[in-house]
Chain A
Amino acid sequence: MQQILFATLMILLTIISYFFMTKLYIRFNFSFLLPVLTSTILIIIILVAFQIPYERYMQGGQWINSLLGPAVVALAYPLYKQREFLRKHAVVILASVTFAGTVGMLSAALLAKVTSLGHSLSLSILPKSVTTPVAIAITDGIGGNASMAVVAVMIAGIFGSILAPILFKMAKVHSPVGRGIALGSASHALGTAKAAEYGELAFSMGSVSMSLNALLSSILAPLIVWILFN
């Protein structure tokens, strides 16, 4: 009984922090106030203050986490609504995502080499632009550390979404297609959620890019490791 109560409390803590932070984000319209980032910080502060370990928090958190599977499936819905557009632009999308996926992994690998980040850490950050479950599978496959991979994936998702508006302005990327593809293939589902702010076309481009990038990266990652880290 007490356990159920505690789990419910943790779920409420997550939902309330998120909605409060979303209100703040909408009110001030400032990219660094991204709700995932701010509510994560708020929850960590509360957990540390009350000395609740992460494993206990997850007794409630896992219920929210379990909705991720159907949520990824739900991305088929915007794809379906944009199917005509997808069919017409299949070549552009395929070429762009292949290019983006390659740039994403190569740049991470080269930066890790230049700064001589450790071998295991370098392998763990390679799939940073891929949605979490795929990133874990890829990291396991190439011999990195799965939890570090999750951390890298979260950083890529959160900071990609935060920096995107400035980057798009600087690089003069105005088309919803360009923005959706860039966000989906650099910052996976979090980037796709951000792309929704640029309209439905950008949103569905984001989800297409995210799914395609997940497929492509699982082939590309072992190749890059073989070329650069052997």
Chain B
Amino acid sequence: MKAIRICLQIGILFIFSYIGTFIQNLFHLIIPGSIIGLILLFICLTLKVIPVELIEDGAGFLLGILTLLFVPMTVGIMNYPSLLSWQGLLLFGIVVVSTAITIVISGIFSQHLEKRTEKKKEASECNKSCSQHS
């Protein structure tokens, strides 16, 4: 029973993906259909056009196996034995180093920003309550 529900719900997600792709082609957008579908579904959920129960199980299932879905594409690396060369090694090194730099710098940056805005909020809330008391 649950398996059927998951399949049907994945069907709904497929429809959103197709609508997204249709919109992408219609307006010649660089943003892929699946991302447009994501935005559309988010809007529909927020406006309660689609109740969350209608996609909950299917979405949970797909997100649970998200990395499995990438495997066929990554296996495609086998078609590029030329990557086992100096240029390939260089490409690999640059991508890994640049990714590591991005993770570190953006992690520190967003954590810092988050803490600062939280402090500001606390301060302003205190100001309000303090002035009410006086």
In the complex, which residue of chain B has the Cβ closest to the Cβ of A61?
B72
Contact of A76 among B38, B83, B101 (CB under 8 A): B38
Contact of B95 among A57, A68, A125, A174 (CB under 8 A): A125
Residues of B within 8 A of A215 (CB): 31, 35
CB B41 to nearest CB in A, in angstroms, measures 4
Cα separation A179 to B88 with both chains bound (whole Å): 29
Where chain A touches its partner, the secondary structure class is helix
Q: Is the CB of B71 within 8 A of A43?
A: yes
Task: Using known A-B contacts A69-B17, A134-B31, A171-B107, determine if residue A62 contacts B75 with beta carbons closer than 8 Å.
Answer: no
Q: Is the CB of A155 within 8 A of B75?
A: no
- Interface residues of chain B, those whose CB is within 8 Å of chain A, are 10, 13-14, 16-17, 20-21, 30-35, 37-39, 41-42, 45-46, 52, 55-56, 58-60, 62-63, 66-80, 83, 87, 90-92, 94-111, 113-115, 117
Given A64-B72, A72-B17, 19 further pairs, Cβ under 8 A:
A43-B71, A44-B75, A48-B78, A61-B75, A65-B73, A72-B38, A73-B34, A77-B41, A79-B42, A83-B46, A92-B110, A111-B98, A128-B99, A152-B91, A155-B99, A170-B104, A190-B67, A196-B63, A211-B35
16 contacts between A and B (CB under 8 A): A54-B75, A54-B79, A68-B73, A71-B13, A76-B38, A77-B59, A80-B45, A80-B52, A92-B113, A107-B102, A108-B95, A111-B94, A150-B73, A177-B110, A193-B66, A211-B35
- Interface residues of chain A, those whose CB is within 8 Å of chain B, are 14-15, 17-18, 35-37, 39-40, 43-44, 47-48, 54, 57-58, 61-62, 64-65, 67-80, 83, 89, 91-93, 95-97, 99-100, 103-104, 107-108, 111-112, 115, 117-118, 121, 125, 128-129, 131-134, 137-138, 141, 147-148, 150-152, 154-160, 163-164, 167-168, 170-175, 177-179, 181-183, 185-187, 189-190, 192-193, 196, 211, 214-215, 218
